[in-house]
Amino acid sequence: MYYVYVLKSQKYKRIYIGFSSDLKKRIKEHNSGKTKSTKYGVPWELVYYEAFFSKKDALKREAGLKNYGSAFGFLKRRIKNSLDRT
């Protein structure tokens, strides 16, 4: 399985969109500060993920969300309550 996921920083009002074949391991890496792009937002909380059988499909979805177009806006509206949680 391949995963596209959304993390929310508990420290700052920031979200991160990523891709992984091992979601649990990847979240641990983000929270240990080993990931350059997320080390300043630790701790991170998983607020959403999608699972794919195809790596190609997952990477396409991640790219679509990271493009911050309509797919990203739709997802933010869909998970609004999860993003607003404190």
pLDDT at 83: 86
Question: pLDDT of 12-37, one tens digit each?
Answer: 889 999 999 999 999 999 999 888 99
Residue of 84 and 47 predicted with greater confidence:
47
Residue 86 pLDDT grade (very low, low, confident, very high; cuts 50, 70, 90): low
**How confident is the model over 58-70, as a mean pLDDT?**
91
Question: pLDDT of 34-59, one tens digit each?
Answer: 889 999 999 999 999 999 999 999 99
Nearest Cα to Cα of residue 44 among 75, 15, 77: 15
Taking CA atoms, 67 is separated from 22, 34, 83, 86, in Å, by 23, 24, 19, 26
pLDDT at 71: 87
Domains of the chain: total: 1
Per the structure, the complete domain to which residue 54 belongs is given by 2-84
Neighbours of 68 (CB within 10 A): 11
Give the CATH number, domain containing residue 8. Answer: 3.40.1440
Tell me how far apart the alpha carbons of residues 18 and 75 are, in angstroms, rounded to a whole number: 14
